[in-house]
């Protein structure tokens, strides 16, 4: 299912937080939303999953205005993992995941055998089947995150909206969750803080700063040293993943604005080591395709 966001504006408490956002997600694409803290990622996504109404503009799913649909219809098409999803619910894991089936139930709202099967499969997909009878509040942050992803999958939506889906997850689980999201073939909008994960897994990135989209495109087009300095205030070196070719980033602090070339001693960390690549360009691959990095220790 395609998602078209056009001229979206969002206001909270009379303050405009999102300005004129336009975003396109084709069927099955994974679109990453990146930006520094407070840039508006959660606010934009909250409007997409209907926790906030737009002050202007539209969100359309295959051309239909999402905010004009009734709640049940919207929930059958779009499921969300909100950032505030870590709130303590006094329910078991199985009950939390079963909530994902509510938009599909009519009448008594009782779960059918088919609903139970869908929930069990969703929990198994996130590797959390063994948690089904545990109380949600007693889970670790990572376990809660996986259960809430299972709830979103149990909803059987066409579009997934994920606010920091890798929050609280260890590195193996982060990779698992992103692979699972990819394999789901759903259209996905995901706010991500880890720019390397975003570069590796997303079809396109949209960069938010001050509530506005300031760049968009394929990860290798968007994640330039200039943009990362401007928007995130960091110095970034680009290298290529030796197997996938995806852009990957190595970060340093930017020199302080007060530092002048005269004031900085010649061997400060900001000074590039002799022979190091200068900034944005990917360094030439080594014999095995890996980018050489003279500053990294050799493997033991
Ligand atoms: N309910 C609210 N009332 C007032 N201001 C708000 C509210 N919600 C968000 N904001 C403000 O809107 C701006 C964007 O916040 P938002 O949470 O969308 O950013 P974010 O990019 O998701 O940040 P983070 O990366 O830290 O999660 C921030 O300045 C925030 O303080």
For 279-300, give the DSSP string: TTSPPPB-TTSPBP-TTSPPP-
> Using a 6 Å cutoff on CB, does residue 82 contact ligand 1?
no
> Using a 6 Å cutoff on CB, does residue 39 contact ligand 1?
yes
The first and second tokens of residue 37, run together, are 């803290």
pLDDT tens for the chain, 300 residues long, are 999 999 999 999 999 999 999 999 999 999 999 999 999 999 999 999 999 999 999 999 999 999 999 999 999 999 999 986 556 668 999 999 999 998 888 766 677 889 999 999 999 999 999 999 999 999 988 899 899 999 999 999 999 999 999 988 899 989 988 998 988 889 999 999 999 999 999 999 999 999 999 999 999 999 999 999 999 999 999 999 999 899 999 999 988 766 555 544 443 333 334 334 443 444 434 333 333 333 333 332
Stated pTM of the model: 0.84
Question: The sheet that has 15-25: what strands, in order across it?
Answer: 15-25, 3-12, 56-61, 64-65
Angstrom distance (rounded) from CA 102 to CA 105: 5
Q: Are 131 and 49 in contact (CB under 8 A)?
A: no
pLDDT at 55: 97
Encode burial over 142-161: b for 16+ CB neighbours within 10 A, e otherwise. Answer: bbbbbbbbbbbbbbbbbbbb
- Dihedral (Cα; 140, 155, 165, 45), 10-degree rounding: -130
Judge if ipTM > 0.95: yes
Specify the ligand 1 atom closest to the Cα of 83.
27
**Nearest protein CA to atom 6 of ligand 1, as residue:** 12
pLDDT at 87: 61
> Using a 6 Å cutoff on CB, does residue 40 contact ligand 1?
yes
Give residue 193 CA to ligand 1 midpoint distance, Å: 14
> Using a 6 Å cutoff on CB, does residue 17 contact ligand 1?
yes
Residues 6+ apart with CB under 8 A from 41: 33, 34, 35, 163, 191, 208
pLDDT at 273: 40
> Using a 6 Å cutoff on CB, does residue 42 contact ligand 1?
yes
Specify the ligand 1 atom closest to the Cα of 44.
18
**Nearest protein CA to atom 7 of ligand 1, as residue:** 12
Residues 6+ apart with CB under 8 A from 177: 126, 145, 146, 149, 165, 166, 169
> Using a 6 Å cutoff on CB, does residue 167 contact ligand 1?
no
């Amino acid at each position: 299912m395609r998602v078209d966001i056009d001229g979206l504006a969002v206001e909270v408490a009379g303050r405009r937080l999102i300005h004129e956002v336009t975003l396109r997600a084709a069927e099955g694409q994974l679109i990453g939303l990146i930006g520094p803290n407070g840039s508006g990622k959660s606010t934009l996504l909250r409007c997409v999953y209907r926790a906030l109404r737009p002050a202007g503009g539209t969100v359309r799913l295959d051309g239909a205005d999402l905010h004009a649909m009734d709640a049940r219809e919207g929930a059958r098409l779009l499921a969300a993992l909100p950032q505030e999803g870590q709130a303590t619910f006094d329910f078991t894991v199985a009950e939390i995941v079963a909530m994902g089936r509510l938009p599909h139930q009519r009448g008594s709202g009782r779960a059918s055998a088919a609903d139970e099967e869908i929930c069990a499969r969703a929990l198994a997909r996130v590797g959390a089947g063994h948690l089904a009878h545990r109380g949600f509040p007693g889970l670790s942050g990572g376990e809660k995150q996986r259960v809430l992803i299972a709830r979103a999958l149990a909803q059987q939506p066409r579009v997934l909206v994920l606010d920091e889906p890798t929050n609280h997850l260890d590195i193996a689980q982060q990779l698992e969750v992103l692979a699972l999201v990819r394999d789901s073939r759903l259209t996905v909008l995901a706010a991500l803080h880890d720019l390397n994960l975003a570069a590796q897994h997303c079809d396109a990135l949209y960069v938010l700063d001050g509530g506005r989209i300031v760049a968009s495109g394929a990860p290798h087009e968007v994640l330039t040293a200039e943009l990362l300095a401007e928007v995130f205030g960091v110095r970034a070196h680009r290298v290529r993943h030796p197997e996938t070719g995806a852009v990957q980033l190595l970060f340093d602090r930017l020199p302080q604005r007060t530092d002048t070339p005269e004031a900085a001693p010649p061997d400060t960390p900001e000074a590039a080591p002799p022979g190091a690549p200068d900034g944005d360009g990917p360094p030439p691959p080594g014999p095995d395709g890996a980018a050489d990095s003279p500053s990294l220790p050799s493997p033991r």
